[in-house]
Structure 1
Amino acid sequence: MSLSHSLLAVLVALIWGVNFVIIRFGLESLPPILFSAVRFWLTAQFSLLFSAMQLGASAGLSSLILQVQVFFTMAFAYLFLHEHLSRFQLLGVSVSCLGLLVVVANLGGDMPLIPFILVILAAAMWGGGNIAAKQLSSTNVMALVIWGGLLAAVVLTVMSLVLEGQAWQWQTITAVSDKSLFAVLYIVYLSTFVGYGLWGFLLQKNRAGDVAQFTLLVPVFGMTASALLLGEAITWWKIVAAILIIAGLLLSRVRR
């Protein structure tokens, strides 16, 4: 990847890292499925992630665990796109896996089991989505985001009506907080239009495995933002996990 494309990938990681804190703001007065449906309607896969955070997953740890999508992306790219994995990429993946194992060893208050499983499933879907975006390289990126979001919006709206019926009461809708409104706007315009637009562009111009590795920066931005804005504690094991993940990213970037 060129330097300019690498810098764009870092920008996307920053936007998505802060996004986990913004999701927490939105969940203050919007239930998870409705929140996700609103997001997709306004942009015309994050319902699992939203549900996990509603069930108690911390913003910082969610941003960290979701990065197993990199491994799903690499595996799918190897199987379906026949992209070769270098020794340094495999070494980088191994080191990053150690970082995720540190998180798994400390599952508990900040990340209960059920939310953990939901985040893993969301990561698998993200990995599959990366490969689909790569295959649709001749498709307009923004059109793909908008029309894909429209289909998701219809499905999520029906799910929300069935599972979160009370959220559609008029008094609930009018009581939505300013934080939740800000969260919707951030997720729609920055996380979706800017983030996914740039992400799709980078996937079309570069190897899927190379691009996916930059999302390993997301938990660093996510954990920093959650500490500054939500007051979530950054414990020693979170620091160790983040260091291992970044080390894995750097190793996977080595060209030999």
Structure 2
Amino acid sequence: PRVAPPPPPPPPHTHPSGGKVQGLELPSRVFPCATPAEVRATLPANADVLAFQCRNPIHRAHYELFIRALDAPNVQEGAVCLVHPTCGPTQDDDIPGVVRYRTYEVLKAEAANPRLRWAYLPYSMHMAGPREAIQHMIIRKNYGCTHFIIGRDMAGCKSTLSGEDFYGAYDAQNLAGDNAAELGMQTVPSLNIAYTEEQGYVTADVAKEQGLTTLSLSGTKFRQMLRGGGDIPEWFAFKSVVEVLRAAVKEEEEANN
């Protein structure tokens, strides 16, 4: 019987090798991105650490969300919140990462809240819905977090055919909750809050039950006011954040002229 010839010898210098892999240097970015080990070193020992993920400038409602999350039933006293925005490129109409970074820095100084920690993630959102929420939980666990604040329709997108939401409003929260134990994390679903004339920010349920007068400002209207120089109410946005955004708009307009 015929015997198959032996395989040819591998080309020189292509044999697999083993050993330690050591990086030469971290990537250079226009905003600082602490490593997971560096972030973990800033967190209190034996305390709950909540992660707040966002990809846009933080306005008053966002701030209320993660401050209130510190008082969630499954969060122990003495917990802190790691505000950990993604600063990589996102959608074409989003605010550039370096501008978002500037808004976070001025807000960090303005808030000066000892229960908050701030760090920046060099990550680009994929708008992949519930599975991306799981990915964010894994990333934040590596940064030392024990809890993950998860909003409605996190990382959601719309159908290119119908324009409807591609995922259900609570799909991300449900999938994260179902897998939290395996991931060694806990979830804190974000509250649905509203601003009222009578009591400021309250949950939407309280506003409805008590018949309070709610105020709102759409993203489109906010952008129009930002570019047009209109007075943006401080119940909606922090003054320091608005100043950074307006400076960025001015820079963009001057560059285009």
Query: Counting strand residues as a fraction of each chain, which structure ranks higher?
Result: 2
Higher CA-based Rg: 2
Quick check: which one's helix share is greater? 1
Relative contact order (alpha carbons < 8 A, sep ≥ 6): 1 or 2 greater? Answer: 1
